[in-house]
Amino acid sequence: MKLLGAGGALSLGAGTVAAARPGDQPNPPLTDSQFGFSVAGGDDIPQRLTPNYTVDLDVDIDRIDQSNLPAITIEFGAFHFEQVGLNVEPGSVVAFDFVTPEHTVTAYHPGLDRQQRVPDGVPALSSPVIDTAGYWLYTFEEAGVYDLFCAPHEAFGMGMRLVVGDGEYDVVQNPSCPPTQCRPPIGLTTLLLGSGLGGDVGIDALDPSNIQSEGEVLIDDVVDDVPYEVTLTAPTPIS
């Protein structure tokens, strides 16, 4: 588990609250309940937002076959969060480290036309796309399960489950919501986090009780549980 201690020497950086104009960030800085707090690559995390945990957003190029371009084959685990499962205490600040670019940290939420996989009252939280070596910070105040995904890479299995607290929590908050209004995960992320339909909530390693027991689940712990890949070919016309 990656912990960043409060004793680290972190200078006040130029991070801004998403959707705020330059110079409008609060002093001291705060994480917004929907937009979090973004730090550009090369800037420092503000000392008063020193995170309790970090989660990497990364790509394993060894799991991507580009030998037959324009076709490309992507194995599960190529695009991933590390940790893919994490248990934190309420009030924890988590820093999502954009080790590689073109990712987001986005919640499954009805406000985004997705299943509700965050606790009641939590807004449709999402990061922007941040450049390499940037961070997105969020304070997880409400206890429960948070299923998160990367919007550009959801089809390739880039999702994670974060459990806040040590209670017994449901993964899907409103399982009766029709898929046309509350779309479940897609692609390989369906296999990872489950469709949310008929009680399907994903692989055993990401059962909330197992995440609470282990503290964290790494991507290498689950790749054998999802032995699938996706092949993209050239576009085909609609006849």
Residue 2 pLDDT > 80, yes or no? no
Query: Radius of gyration of the chain from Cα atoms?
Result: 18
> 152 preceded by cis ω (within 30°)?
no
Count CB-CB contacts under 10 A for residue 21.
8
CATH architecture type of domain 37-224: Sandwich (2.60)
Banded pLDDT at 204 (limits 50, 70, 90): very high
Res 187: pLDDT: 97
Residue 22: pLDDT over 50: no
Element (H, E) at 95: strand 92-98
Average pLDDT, the chain: 90
End-to-end Cα, the chain, rounded Å: 51
Domain residue ranges in the chain? 37-224
Query: What six digits make up the tokens of 115?
Result: 């299943």
